[in-house]
Structures are given as structure tokens and as C-alpha cells.
Amino acid sequence: MGTAKFIFAGAAAITVLASSAFADDKTGMVTSINRLNNTISIQEMQKGTVGGSAGGAGALQQYKAKDAAMLDAVHAGDRVTFTATDADGAGTLTKLQKQ
């Protein structure tokens, strides 16, 4: 019984580590910023060459900034790289950098 628990715990740890390792930065363009609510809307850019088009516009997403100071360095129209988490259907920015 102890060996089975050890194997399942190891498999769970590998799954958690692998999911965070594959979380890469996304790129997009800032469409709007609400500094009163600490939210930002970003038009995500698609990666790859699906259908022969290079980097078309993806979905528009609104995120809550983890830290209000993150929004000070960007303005509407800026291209950015960002990382976000999704908790309970609400996206939260964990990293935001102007390109």
C-alpha cells in the first residue's frame, strides 16, 4: 500500500511541474487599461502559421493585474508579452512586459 501511495504522489508532482514548465509567455496588443479597477484588455496574437497566415489576431481577453504597478509601464496600443493564470474563470496577469 505504501508503494502505491508513493507512485501516485510522484505522478502528481510530475504533472504539476510539467504543467508549469509548459506555461509560456503570450504576446498581444493592449487595447484598453482601467487603472481604477486594475484591469487590462489584451488582444492576443496567434502563434504559428496555421493556414499560411503569420501571427493573426486572436481573442480579446480582459485580465486583472496581480499588482497595480504592472499597468504603469504600458498604454493602449503597446505590444506586450504576458503570462496569466485562470482562476474561477477570471484571468489574472502574473507578468507583463512591454516589447
Chain centroid to CA 85? 6
Q: What is the DSSP string of 16-73?
A: HHHHHHT---EEEEEEEEETTTTEEEEEEEPPS-GGG--S-EEEEEEEEESSGGGGGG
1-15, 25-39, 70-84: range with lowest mean pLDDT = 1-15
Report pLDDT for 64: 93
Has residue 3 got a pLDDT over 80? no
pTM, full prediction:
0.66
Report the phi/psi class of residue 2: left, alpha or beta, with left for phi > 0 and alpha for psi in -120 to 50. alpha
Residue range 54-94, pLDDT digits in tens? 555 678 899 999 899 999 999 999 999 999 998 777 789 99
Has residue 53 got a pLDDT over 90? no
Has residue 32 got a pLDDT over 90? yes
- Spell out the domain ranges in the chain: 25-98
CATH T-level topology, domain 25-98: OB fold (Dihydrolipoamide Acetyltransferase, E2P) (2.40.50)
